[in-house]
Structure 1
Amino acid sequence: MSENTTPEVMTGNFIHDFIDEDIAEGGKYEGKKVHTRFPPEPNGYLHIGHAKAICVDFGTAEKYNGLCNLRMDDTNPTKEDVEYVDAIKEDIKWLGFDWDDRFYYASDYFEQMYGYAVELIKKGLAYVCELNAEQMREYRGDTQTPAKSPYRDRPVEESLDLFERMRKGEFEDGSMTLRAKIDLASGNFNMRDPVIYRINRLKHHRTGDNWCIYPMYDFAHPIEDAIEGITHSLCTLEFESHRPLYDWVIENISAPSKPRQIEFARLGINNTVMSKRKLRELVENNHVNGWDDPRMPTLCGLRRRGYTPKSIRSFIDQIGVSKVNSIVEYSFLEHCLRDDLNESAERTMCVIHPIKLILTNYPEGKTEEFEVENNPNRPEDGTRTVTFSRECWIEAEDFMEEPIKKYQRLYPGNEVRLKSTYIVKCTGCKKDENGNVVEVYAEYDPETRGGNTPDGRKVRGTIHWVDANNCADAEVRLYDNLFTVPDPDAGEGSFLDYLNPNSLEILKNCKAEKNLETATAPKSFQFMRLGYFCVDNKDSKPGHLVFNRSVSLKDGFKPKK
């Protein structure tokens, strides 16, 4: 991949340019409805890279008032499972797309695919080969040497008989394959008589043990598109060299239609991995807490972390569609989420490293109420009531007995505003036997209710707080990058060597505003001065509030000039 690039909003889309030509007068699909498809393999959970494909496939159909199918590419039963099928559906719906009644499985077409394979054999364009995997590699040749197979000229009737017996289960796994007869000397190795069927006795999640031979993806994929009447098969760039094979298959069988394949660059993001195999390894070896761990780039993980469909679709829209692979900064994804939550998230106060502040001149037993805005960007969200009393929780870092230079928070003799309430002046602190501060003392100025300063004095610092006598206990989880390097795939050794041991920090006994006790997922909040947090959709429950930090307040994304 290329060096990191700064995403820009694209004014054009080359895919749409091609489609415009195809549907224009005299074009290949003149008068036809644009029909795309999203064909994930149900062998894992979708990740942010799939979100780009989803937006391209479904978004293109929306642009042209066309159709987009959802099809499970379940031709390989090795890791496929109904769990993944359900998760894929949920993720696509969550992003805001719908396939209506056009939901299919590749396995729906197994019988038709078998028939097309027989058609190729009868035309002398496919043959049963008995080379094993090791021999196949040995005979594959190189750029100077053609591939070879001693079975290439096997009589049609013999291949037909063997292929039928393969289907009946008469031969061992790996002992035979069906290969397309194309060009053993082709410069495109995908065309050197590729395998189009193999024997595999694994149980299929839908067809059970009905089949012991399965079509290869490069054979099945174009047939599935043709059967469904797909006009534009939108794929990522790694399939560009496979396109000649797809076209060859369609041209040599009695296909009902001829889709056009267009390739675009896949999405790469730094500080993570997006290989399903590697994500599965993270899950199965307990390096993370499941596919929906908020540190994962999976859509269910991002959802649990507090990402919104709007933020992800904005991210995909702004990075655009191109023919050049690139790496996008993770901080830009965070930037898009921050933009969305800044407009939509309610403001509230939570103290994650609590230390008690006691206002020594505030009347004991007294409680006041203050009305504060829920979101200054959305007046329609109204206000909420917060209570205030003699004892408050503040952040431990908001007090220093001996302040550092330019420190504007609490220290003996200094004044700060307690957000939306009063100005207070620090008078000292109490320490335990180990010298740790356990209480901070201050006096409040009753003339400064609402943070006003009638005498015009300047108070530089403002800190958040929570009423110690009316608050909710919470667990807060802080997340960092899962990996310590931008490209964990590029280093020597395993990508696991670069796992960040500090990617998750769990804080117990945090103190939140009382009204957060009733908050439920997927509700998001801006914890003042701390960042954007959401209610955890798995572990949070009444009596045990859990919040995940979605993104910090500080924007780490800096557009390149």
Structure 2
Amino acid sequence: MSEEKTTNAPASNFLRNIVERDLAQGTYVSRRWAGTPGDAAHHAAGEPDPAKIRTRFPPEPNGYLHIGHAKSICLNFGLARDYDGVCHMRFDDTNPEKEEQEYVDSITDAVQWLGFGWDKFGKSHLYYASNYFDFMYRAAEYLIESGHAYIDQQSAEEMRATRGTLTEPGKNSPWRDRPAEESLRLFREMRDDKHPDGAMLLRAKIDMASPNINLRDPAIYRIKHATHHNTGDKWCIYPMYTYAHPLEDALEGVTHSICTLEFEDQRPFYDWVLERLAEGGLLAHPLPKQYEFARLNLTYVVLSKRKLIDLVEDQYVSGWDDPRMPTLVGTRRRGYTPEGFRLFADRIGVSKADSWIEYTILEDCMRDTLNESAERRIAVLDPIKLVIDNYPEGQSEDCFAPNHPQKPELGKRVVPLSRELWIEREDFMEEPSKGYFRLFPGNKVRLRYGYVVECIGCEKDVDGNVTVVHCTYLPETKSGTPGADSIKVKGNIHWVSAPHAYTAEVRLYDRLFQEANPGAGDRNYLDDLNRDSVKIISAQLEAALKDAKPEERFQFERHGYFVADRKDSTEGKPVFNRTVTLRDAWQK
């Protein structure tokens, strides 16, 4: 999969400065890499690491990725790409209760769809944290033996009561000073399934008076009788995430461990764990370093997993891949492009300061990439019949439309014209308003790629609604002929031939929420749902669109960018989703 280096300078990204400083200072040049993750002895037997840096994207496989993850994917894989390094695709699957293969598959698919891969220097760098359980257990035994961890038998309530507050120090557990041999015996009993869930846990021994609550003897192993998707029933004890994460980074030789800001307070424990294990010779210097950046806050969406689950389970949307959802499977189905996401990541940059990004920036990135890549087609979304009274019945002729106005090399396609056409209902007014230049009795317009026509009237139903518009055409004015400019008109409308048209379902998607910050203040975020976020219509499309393949994208002239739905389209019968309008309709 192609991973071309960024050609335009990205927006502010302080992490690039850190990487460039480390490369200039040779911070990681002494590292060795044995070809697979492992401890200090394993890597010492390897060769000098061919990767100048190693980053990682470490999702927990317990849900679908969303737009915020796209930023992290582009960041981690992008840094590795741009600095001749490797980004590891790692599943942080240390929690046996919430993880499923379905999510593993969807995550790998999403990363590859965004244009990134994990094969580098002749190796695949797809890893599972659960494959390191043996080392994590061995490291925990070392921490016990060296006096840095102990088995605590307090209840969860007792532990909460002794943890302290932001202004008051915690209190030592009555089990804190038990002999290492006793803690080691109990820890092995935990491993050997001799105690029930919650009976005891392993805690690091750091400082119960630390102003950083995360250093007040955090838990590092707990009993949990649950089947793991990867290791089955081998284990009934599992490491806590904050303990497992630094070990995973170190075993994989990660240099720059990039997290969002909520992990900043955990960094001292990250460093503490690695330093203790390096002192025991289990890990080697230089050790990974953690850096934090501001997570993505995007207007008009919710990215909270709990809220997304509510939207799906309470059927406000049709599923995780609903095109209105901010999940990557949803945005992909909507027609958003990998190129647009990568451009978005570059434009918004990376910083340590929390800020809100306007959703229109993401939409503009999609417009910019689609304008470049999407071929043009004609679609009439609100059709009304136009009859050319002086055009021979049963006859048709070819008109020619460019597939892309900025790419003449893509050629032209045939657009058949006949006596009866479909036009947009808004392109006719019986009594025109000021400044209206389209069809009304006595006015002339050009049928785009075709002839100049003059409106001569209309038909109505019993309720007075216009059902058919009538016109005559000027045979000498066909586009592309010498007479095309013989008559000047101000209006130019699009159309499709009624006998040749393809009747298709088109879904006009809009933003799922009508407020920029759903649920802000005391509001229920569900009260901010946009009740008009999807409108399903039957449209008349040019015949060429009948052969559109799932995920094929087009600009429907005048209307916006559309994609053939990857789920509901069938051969010869595509369903189209509106990706984004041609212009931002949400600007106040």
Q: Same fold (TM over 0.5)?
A: yes
Q: Secondary structure at the match of 2:479?
A: helix
1:18 is matched with which residue? 18
- How far apart in 1 are the matches of 2:104 and 2:484? 64
Query: How far has the Cα of 1:530 moved from its partner?
Result: 0.6
**Cα shift at 1:512:** 0.5
Partner of residue 36, structure 2? none
In the aligned structure 2, how far is the partner of 1:349 from the partner of 1:187?
A: 65
Preserved contact between residue 292 and residue 352 of structure 2 (Cα < 8 Å): yes
Offset, 1:477: 0.6
The change in CA–CA distance for 1:11 and 1:480 in structure 2 (over 3 A counts) is closer
CA distance in structure 1 between the partners assigned to 2:330 and 2:175 by the alignment:
49
| Secondary structure of 2:18's aligned partner | helix
> What are the ranges of 5 or more consecutive residues in structure 2 without an aligned counterpart?
1-7, 32-48
**Structure 1 range deviating more: 379-388 or 298-307:** 298-307
C-alpha separation between the residues in 1 aligned to 2:401 and 2:167?
76
- Shift in CA distance, 260/533, structure 1 to aligned 2, threshold 3 Å: same
Q: 1:144 to 1:13 in 2, by over 3 A?
A: closer
Of the three residues 167, 189, 192, the one matched with 1:144 is: 167
In structure 1, give the amino acid aligned to 2:213: F
Distance in 2 between residues matched to 1:76 and 1:223, nearest whole Å: 15
Please tell me the residue identity of whatever aligns with 2:236. C
Match 2:393 to one of 364, 388, 393: 364
When the two chains are superposed, the root-mean-square deviation of aligned CA atoms in Å is 2.0
Percent identical among aligned pairs is: 56
Q: Which moved more, 1:294-303 or 1:483-492?
A: 483-492
Q: Distance in 2 between the 1:316 and 1:160 partners?
A: 47
Distance 1:404 1:150, change over 3 A: farther
- Shift of the 98–30 alpha-carbon distance from structure 1 to 2, 3 Å rule, reads same
Instruction: Give 1:518 deviation, angstroms.
Output: 0.8
Matched, 1:461 2:484: no
Measure the CA separation in 1 of the matches of 2:433 and 2:175. 81
Question: In the aligned structure 1, how far is the partner of 2:155 from the partner of 2:409?
Answer: 69
Distance in structure 2 (CA, Å) of the matches to 1:27 and 1:237 = 24
Specify the alignment match of 2:133 in structure 1.
110
Is the 8 Å Cα contact of residues 22 and 29 (structure 1) preserved in structure 2? no
**TM-score, normalisation: structure 1:** 0.94
Distance 1:249 1:454, change over 3 A: closer
Does 2:85 correspond to 1:56? Answer: no
Which region of structure 1 is more displaced relative to structure 2, 385-394 or 248-257? 248-257
State the partner residue of 1:228: 252
SS in 2 for 1:40: coil
* Letter paired with 2:283: A
State the partner residue of 1:332. 361
Q: Report 1:65-464 matches (<5 A).
A: 65-100=84-119, 101-148=124-171, 149-253=173-277, 254-257=282-285, 258-450=287-479, 456-464=486-494
Number of corresponding residues: 551
Q: Secondary structure at the match of 2:339?
A: helix
**In 2, Cα distance between the equivalents of 1:12 and 1:294?**
31
Structure 2 residue 491 is matched with structure 1 residue 472: no
Q: Report the more deviating stretch, 369-378 or 139-148.
A: 139-148
Change (3 A) 1:503 1:556: closer
Task: Return the TM-score normalized by structure 2.
Answer: 0.90
Determine the structure 1 residue equivalent to 2:44. Answer: none
1:154 offset after TM fit, Å? 2.3
1:4 is matched with which residue? none
Contact 2:547-2:573 at 8 Å conserved across structures? no
Q: Residue 17 of structure 1 aligns to which amino acid in structure 2?
A: N
Q: Give the counterpart of 1:516 among 545, 554, 558.
A: 545
Task: Describe the SS at the equivalent of 1:469.
Answer: helix
Structure 2 CA distance, aligned partners of 1:398 and 1:375?
24
Consecutive unaligned residues in structure 1, runs of 5 or more: 1-7
For residues 217 and 466 of structure 1, what CA distance do their matches in structure 2 show? 59
2 CA distance for matches of 1:417 and 1:180? 78
Q: CA deviation at 1:262?
A: 1.6
Contact 2:88 2:127 in 1 (8 A): yes
Q: Is the 8 A contact 1:22 1:30 kept in 2?
A: no
